[in-house]
């Protein structure tokens, strides 16, 4: 009888590219936010609220949140696939990681769109 070995689906190039694209999105967002903060008035609660409450900034921040969560998912998923050998434990870790990232994204989105 052939024993099937549970391994990843070999998404190497796609995952590598996704990590680079999401890292680039996060880098550009960080630069834009840094320029906006440094070129504006001194940071107060009112100036921070004014900066983050614009529709454009909310959309860009939402894209940042999605990029961060996908970047984290690809990285952590690869760690689980590389270092956790029992398939049941690995599946549990994948599910817990996904639930945590979805929760974090939902929470961040609520905060972002409540401004």
Q: How far apart, in whole angstroms, are the C-alpha atoms of residue 103 and residue 75?
A: 18
- Each residue's pLDDT tens digit, 92-106: 999 999 999 999 999
* Residue 13, pLDDT score: 87
Domain ranges of the chain: 14-114
pTM of the model: 0.83
Q: pLDDT value at position 8?
A: 57
For domain 14-114, the CATH class is mainly alpha
Please tell me the predicted confidence (pLDDT) of residue 43: 86
**Which residues in the chain show pLDDT less than 70?**
1-11, 115
10: left (phi over 0), alpha (psi -120 to 50) or beta: left
What pLDDT score was predicted for residue 57?
Answer: 92
């Amino acid at each position: 009888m052939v024993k099937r070995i549970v391994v990843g689906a070999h998404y190497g190039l796609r995952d590598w590219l996704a990590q680079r694209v999401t890292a680039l999105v996060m880098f550009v967002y960080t630069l834009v936010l840094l320029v906006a903060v440094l070129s504006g008035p001194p940071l107060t609660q009112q100036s921070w609220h004014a900066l983050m409450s614009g529709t454009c900034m909310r959309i860009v921040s939402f894209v940042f949140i999605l990029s961060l969560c996908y970047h984290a998912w690809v990285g952590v998923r690869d760690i689980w696939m590389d270092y956790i050998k029992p398939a049941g434990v690995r599946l549990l870790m994948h599910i817990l990681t996904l639930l945590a990232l979805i929760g974090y994204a939902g929470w961040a989105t609520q905060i972002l769109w409540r401004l």
